[in-house]
């Protein structure tokens, strides 16, 4: 017998224990509050936002949890209430109750768009069974990447495949891969310390103006990127040097493009990784994108980051990135699932149009 109830701040410690047991990583209490209750959209909503739900035994032991992250979306000038499922976990002995948590997540009457943007294989499968769909874009199960440190990359790859002596084999195999990379990287982005981009240390009012321009574009589903929403995601990593914000101006000195790179390591296999998590521009932004990636590759090199990686994006952006990145890899699962609320059939229908979509790690809870 387990009881399903709304999560409260007092559940923090038990949820961390559960998350750690299933290798989901842990959050400090401040990070936890910031994620579930700190969205700038929470203050503007006229309803109480649940932090998530838990499954609890009669002895008050928490054996399951699904987090509920509030994210605002915009489509054709309309604001949409988005809920992103986060860190869904159920103790192995109680998995027959997993779906109850997911069903509770989907039963929120105030939500327009339900999301799971960091899905593992079982969570994606369960979401699909509950009516969630893959956005009509290709390859949210593939990543494009650049290698900065070939021996370290090979060691991580071997460690992931549980190959003994992965560390020792990294050097000889990495040297060979490094030679192959010389050929493969011809015409692709390379580290460039003098690429013409500006690195910013904070989001200023120019980002609110820029968001007004982005939001006015017709038929684009966009997770809100005003100054407050960007700061909610990136202020702390920016302060710690774990996020880089690069900007490009147009001829009149106005912000015309920006890209955010965020550190997302895989400590279990000793991989130091930077990800391009957001890229927006007025126009195609191709020149800026190349410069931003080249600048970041140089910074990755200086910071001893092993790989730079990109996941997602819609048709046009994906093509741009594919032209610049020498490598791609298959991810363990399709990561992005969505469902329009049942009371909004016209939204569900419009989301079938691939041109609306440009999904990336910025969406949902991908940057937390
Ligand atoms: C996410 C979670 C709550 C989903 O629970 P669930 O819907 O009950 O799914 P299960 O974990 O029982 O897995 C369902 C099935 O998929 C199988 N499966 C799991 N991972 C798989 C993979 N990578 N490839 C193929 N099959 C897989 C399981 O063996 C199981 O098979 P069965 O139905 O024949 O027994 C649960 O998997 C969990 O707590 N996982 C650990 C935390 C986690 O990774 N959370 C995801 C964060 S988004």
> pLDDT, tens digit, for every residue of 284-318?
999 999 999 999 999 999 999 999 999 999 989 99
pLDDT at 139: 83
**Cβ 76 vs Cβ 218: under 8 Å:** yes
**Cβ 350 vs Cβ 265: under 8 Å:** no
Measured by CA distance, the residue closest to atom 22 of ligand 1 is: 121
Q: Which candidate, 80, 123, 64, places its Cα nearest to that of 340?
A: 80
Which option is the CATH number for 142-330: 3.40.50.1970, 3.40.630.30, 3.30.300.30, 3.40.50.1000? 3.40.630.30
| CA distances in angstroms from 29 to 12, 16, 23, 68, 323, listed in the order given | 7, 9, 18, 16, 42
Name the phi and psi angles at 40, rounded to 5. Answer: -60, -20
pLDDT at 193: 84
CA–centroid distance, residue 35 to ligand 1 (Å) = 24
Q: Which candidate, 133, 101, 78, places its Cα nearest to that of 15?
A: 101
Work out the pLDDT band at 43, boundaries 50, 70, 90. confident
pTM: predicted TM-score of the whole model, two decimal places: 0.94
CA–centroid distance, residue 257 to ligand 1 (Å) = 39
Q: Where exactly are the structural domains of the chain?
A: 3-129, 142-330
Work out the pLDDT band at 181, boundaries 50, 70, 90. confident
Distance CA 307, CA 144 (A): 10
CA–centroid distance, residue 126 to ligand 1 (Å) = 8
pLDDT at 175: 73
pLDDT at 169: 73
What does the pLDDT average to over 46-61?
Answer: 96
> Does ligand 1 come within 6 angstroms of the Cβ of 120?
yes
CA–centroid distance, residue 37 to ligand 1 (Å) = 27
In the predicted structure, residue 114 carries a pLDDT above the cut 90 = yes
**Cβ 44 vs Cβ 289: under 8 Å:** no
Same fold for the domain at 3-129 and the one at 142-330? yes
CA–centroid distance, residue 165 to ligand 1 (Å) = 30
Question: Which is the closest atom of ligand 1 to the Cα of 23?
Answer: 42
> Does ligand 1 come within 6 angstroms of the Cβ of 84?
no
CA–centroid distance, residue 125 to ligand 1 (Å) = 8
pLDDT at 2: 96
% of residues, the chain, pLDDT over 90: 83
Q: Which candidate, 19, 16, 32, 91, places its Cα nearest to that of 57?
A: 91
> Does ligand 1 come within 6 angstroms of the Cβ of 123?
yes
In the predicted structure, residue 42 carries a pLDDT above the cut 80 = yes
Measured by CA distance, the residue closest to atom 35 of ligand 1 is: 95
CA–centroid distance, residue 190 to ligand 1 (Å) = 39
Name the phi and psi angles at 111, rounded to 5. Answer: -90, 140
Work out the pLDDT band at 196, boundaries 50, 70, 90. confident
pLDDT at 179: 74
In the predicted structure, residue 172 carries a pLDDT above the cut 90 = no
Q: Specify the length of the chain in residues.
A: 368
CATH code of domain 3-129: 3.40.630.30
- pLDDT, tens digit, for every residue of 234-249? 999 999 999 999 999 9
In the chain, where do the E strands start and end?
Answer: 3-6, 52-56, 62-75, 78-90, 113-116, 142-147, 198-200, 222-223, 243-249, 255-263, 273-281, 307-311, 327-330, 337-340
Q: Give CA 162 to chain center in angstroms.
A: 26
pLDDT at 188: 81
Higher pLDDT pick, 175 / 338: 338
Question: Which is the closest atom of ligand 1 to the Cα of 116?
Answer: 48
> Does ligand 1 come within 6 angstroms of the Cβ of 98?
yes
How many CB atoms are closer than 10 A to CB 76? Answer: 13
pLDDT at 285: 94
> Does ligand 1 come within 6 angstroms of the Cβ of 140?
no
Q: Which residues lie below 8 Å from residue 2, measured CB to CB, with a gap of 6+?
A: 55, 56, 57, 63, 64, 94, 97
Mutate-to-test residue for ligand 1 from 91, 92, 122, 364, highest number of ligand atoms within 8 A of CB: 122
**Which residue matches tokens 């939204």?**
347
CA–centroid distance, residue 64 to ligand 1 (Å) = 13
Work out the pLDDT band at 46, boundaries 50, 70, 90. confident
Measured by CA distance, the residue closest to atom 23 of ligand 1 is: 121
pLDDT at 161: 86
Name the phi and psi angles at 294, rounded to 5. Answer: -65, -40
Question: Which is the closest atom of ligand 1 to the Cα of 332?
Answer: 23
């Amino acid at each position: 017998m387990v009881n399903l109830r709304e999560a409260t701040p007092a559940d923090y410690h038990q949820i961390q224990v559960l998350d750690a047991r299933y290798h989901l990583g842990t959050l400090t209490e401040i990070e936890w509050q910031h994620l579930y209750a700190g969205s700038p959209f929470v203050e503007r909503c006229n309803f109480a936002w649940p932090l998530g739900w838990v499954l609890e035994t009669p002895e008050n032991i928490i054996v399951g949890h699904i987090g509920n992250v509030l994210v605002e979306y915009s489509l054709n000038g309309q604001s949409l209430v988005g809920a992103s499922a986060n860190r869904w976990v159920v103790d192995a002995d109680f998995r027959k109750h997993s779906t109850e948590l997911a069903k509770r997540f989907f039963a929120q009457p105030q939500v327009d768009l339900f999301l799971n943007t960091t899905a593992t294989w079982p969570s994606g499968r369960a979401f699909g069974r509950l009516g969630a769909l893959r956005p009509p874009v290709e390859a949210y199960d593939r990543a494009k990447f650049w290698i900065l440190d070939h021996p370290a990359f090979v060691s991580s790859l071997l460690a992931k495949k549980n190959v003994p002596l992965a560390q020792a084999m990294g050097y000889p195999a990495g040297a060979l891969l490094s030679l192959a990379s010389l050929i493969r990287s011809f015409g692709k982005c390379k580290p460039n310390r003098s690429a013409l981009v500006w690195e910013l240390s904070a989001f200023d009012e120019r980002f609110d103006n820029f968001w007004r321009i982005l939001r006015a574009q017709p038929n684009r589903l966009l997770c809100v990127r005003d100054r407050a929403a960007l700061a909610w995601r990136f202020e702390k990593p920016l302060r710690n040097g774990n996020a880089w914000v690069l900007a490009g101006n147009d001829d009149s000195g106005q912000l015309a493009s920006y890209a955010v790179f965020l550190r997302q390591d895989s400590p279990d296999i000793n991989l130091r990784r930077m990800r391009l998590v957001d890229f927006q521009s007025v126009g195609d932004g191709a020149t800026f994108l190349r410069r931003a990636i080249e600048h970041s590759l140089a910074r990755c090199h200086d910071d001893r980051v092993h790989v730079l990686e990109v996941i997602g994006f819609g048709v046009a952006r994906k093509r741009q990135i594919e032209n610049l990145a020498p490598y791609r890899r298959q991810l363990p699962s399709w990561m992005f699932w969505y469902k329009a609320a049942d009371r909004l059939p016209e939204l569900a229908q419009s989301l079938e149009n691939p041109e609306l979509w440009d999904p990336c790690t910025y969406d949902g809870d991908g940057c937390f």
